[in-house]
Structure 1
Amino acid sequence: LHFLNLLCSVPGAAGVLVGHPFDTVKVTIYFFFPNHVDRPLYRGTFHCFQSIIRQESVFGLYKGIGSPMMGLTFINAIVFGVQGNAIRRLGQDTPTNQFLAGATAGAIQCVICCPMELAKTRMQMQGTGMRKSSTVKLYKNSLDCLTRIYKREGLRGVNRGMVTTLIRETPGFGVYFLAYDVLTRTLGCEPEDPYMIPKLLFAGGMAGIASWLSTYPVDVIKSRLQADGVGGVNKYSSIADCVRQSVQREGYMVFTRGLTSTLLRAFPVNAATFATVTLVLIYARGGDDCPKDCESAPLAQPTPPPVQQAPPTQIQPSSL
């Protein structure tokens, strides 16, 4: 498991480096649009990119990257470890069980995900709209950000947005693993297939997109609650109040704000993560039995072993 997490952290780190600028743009659009509904500061994703680079240099796109980099290995370990063990407990590898196992993993990893995203969001908002020559900085880094929030607000402040994070991550990861399972079974990702890696990349990328589409409105509210208070004033008293004010000021289109940059980021990041995990699991088994263990069950059922050799809790094989 440690070896798997180490290998997963390499493409994961590369995914964060590629995807973080898109996340910064998404959070910036979330935060600034409500304050400038009549005259938006940004005309869209590409214009927001240009504005941040012009005002803060390219490094402005990477504000807050320390937090997801630090939490990457822990989150991967929790998500894939819990999901794998949950499938074993459920006893059968079916699409429904993939959803349940993924939802369980998503709920448990919120313990790390929520504070990590709080620090990331606060760092991303720091200095936004200021020139790169500005020296006004409230936080030195992500760890300093969490330390200051803890001293000022305690554990409740560090876990700001935990409820919305749970509401987003629980079904989100369920859809994530369900979509990947269905796609790999449909595409047929057998190890001997010369197009296996492109298929895995496609399935992982599309699973990431499906996951974000299923919970994106909740992410809008979560990010606004976590960014609330950056300027010293809290605008929202609760989740319901944030939803009410957002819809009242911007209409129901508020729940698609920043969706373009999110989907552009989702495909490459999740394609790399899922493909790496699956390939490591395939080749870590080694030997002649590897292809059998990795076949998609609906496409090619393996020859059942003798009854006396099969453990009573044997689960149905899948691509993951």
Structure 2
Amino acid sequence: MSADFWAGYISGAVGIIVGNPLDILKTKLQAGTPSTPESFPIAAVTGQTQARKAFPWTSWLRGSAAPILGYGALNALLFVTYNRSLSLLNTGSISSDSPERPAAWSLWTAGALGGLATFFVSAPTELVKCRAQVSSQSSLEVTKALWKQAKLRGLYLGGGVTSLRDAVGYGFYFWSYEFAKRAMTGEEDSQNQQALKVLLCGGLAGVVTWTSIFPLDVLKTRVQTWDLVSRGQASSIANASQPLLSGQPQSAGIRSTAPSRPSTFRIAREAYAAEGVSVFFRGLAICNVRAFIVNAVQWAAYEYLMKQLAR
């Protein structure tokens, strides 16, 4: 396999390990508070003894198994698709200064195509991660429950808004990283200066990306965790009385009184009606702190691995 595949895979896994604790807080803030307080232990960060007992340090890794396995593959697919798309888009292009300095439109388009290409990995990975983070179950238990309720279709709940988020987000991701690098990199920079600038450019790219798509990410989280949070059932993913997907048939002879799953548009409208526009930016500060750290580390790992593998 190509160097960018392995560099993308390893750097993606490293990024998940670094950023998972803050990602848990982001997901919980986006999802909203269920009616079962003990299953939503955000109070752990206050330092209270009781909260620490209910929320051990291992809980900061909750939901990380699926992303470590899935996001490594996702990142590998992302970088391979981006690099190949960028090469094709700039073949014979007259809008670029040079092959090493692609035009802004081609950077964004190649990034968006890379984001779309990750759909088959991104949608189930994000779903399992979010549901594990707002519940007390492991990624494997979440996956089994989703498969039991709706088979393959259940693993792609919220896939539409996830793919839109990824296309827009990764377009800005590669565009912002490349232009930040052009603005900061000098011809006579030392190796340490270059490494520091890669960290800074990667961090800035992460912040730009998440700021641009945060409302979509909030909506994605709400769609994927609606049945857990809406009835305070974060500790019981496999709830037979409430269908995972709208239109899912009930067991023979049993008529459920549980509400059917609303559409993505209805979830967005109800969130806005209940909490105003601020609901779509809840957790943005934590997300941007995480985005800067994770993407600084991830880009540094990617650039380093690409140089080593090229040798």
Does the alignment pair 1:237 with 2:262? yes
Question: Aligned partners of 1:51 and 1:21: how far apart in 2?
Answer: 19
Structure 2 residue matching 1:229: 3-state secondary structure = helix
1:169-318 map, 5 Å: 169-188=166-185, 190=187, 193-194=190-191, 195-230=193-228, 231=233, 232=239, 233=242, 236-282=261-307, 284-285=309-310
Does the alignment pair 1:156 with 2:149? no
Alignment-mate amino acid for residue 163 of structure 2? L
Question: Structure 1 stretch 118-127 or stretch 77-86: which is displaced more?
Answer: 118-127
CA distance 1:97–1:13, change in 2 (3 Å): same
Partner of 1:22: 22
Contact map agreement 1:12 1:272 (CA 8 A) in 2: no
Contact map agreement 1:27 1:223 (CA 8 A) in 2: yes
Contact map agreement 2:172 2:208 (CA 8 A) in 1: yes
CA distance 1:51–1:242, change in 2 (3 Å): farther
Question: Aligned partners of 1:246 and 1:47: how far apart in 2?
Answer: 27
Contact map agreement 1:180 1:203 (CA 8 A) in 2: yes
Contact map agreement 1:122 1:227 (CA 8 A) in 2: yes
Structure 2 runs not aligned, ≥5 long: 94-101, 234-238, 243-258
**Cα root mean square deviation, aligned:** 2.8
How big is each residue's C-alpha offset from its partner over 1:166-223, in whole Å with a ceiling of 9 and x where there is no partner?
1211010000000011111111255853411111110011001100000000100100
Q: Give the deviation of 1:13 after TM superposition.
A: 3.0
Q: Give the deviation of 1:20 after TM superposition.
A: 0.5
Question: Aligned partners of 1:253 and 1:48: how far apart in 2?
Answer: 27
Partner of 2:108: 99
Taking structure 1 as the reference length, the TM-score comes to: 0.76
Question: Structure 1 stretch 147-156 or stretch 164-173: which is displaced more?
Answer: 147-156
Question: Aligned partners of 1:49 and 1:5: how far apart in 2?
Answer: 44
Alignment-mate amino acid for residue 116 of structure 2? A
Partner of 1:132: none
Partner of 2:254: none
Q: Identity rate of aligned residues, in percent?
A: 27
Contact map agreement 2:6 2:76 (CA 8 A) in 1: no
Contact map agreement 1:114 1:161 (CA 8 A) in 2: yes
Alignment-mate amino acid for residue 118 of structure 2? Q
Question: Aligned partners of 1:187 and 1:27: how far apart in 2?
Answer: 33
Structure 2 residue matching 1:228: 3-state secondary structure = helix
Alignment-mate amino acid for residue 106 of structure 1? G
Question: Aligned partners of 2:210 and 2:49: how far apart in 1?
Answer: 25
Partner of 1:80: 79
Question: Aligned partners of 2:141 and 2:47: how far apart in 1?
Answer: 27
Question: Aligned partners of 2:279 and 2:18: how far apart in 1?
Answer: 26
Structure 1 runs not aligned, ≥5 long: 128-138, 287-320
Structure 2 residue matching 1:237: 3-state secondary structure = coil
How big is each residue's C-alpha offset from its partner over 1:212-238, in whole Å with a ceiling of 9 and x where there is no partner?
000000100100111122224467511
Alignment-mate amino acid for residue 73 of structure 2? F
Does the alignment pair 1:89 with 2:88? yes
Contact map agreement 1:52 1:61 (CA 8 A) in 2: no
Q: Give the deviation of 1:148 after TM superposition.
A: 2.4
Partner of 1:313: none
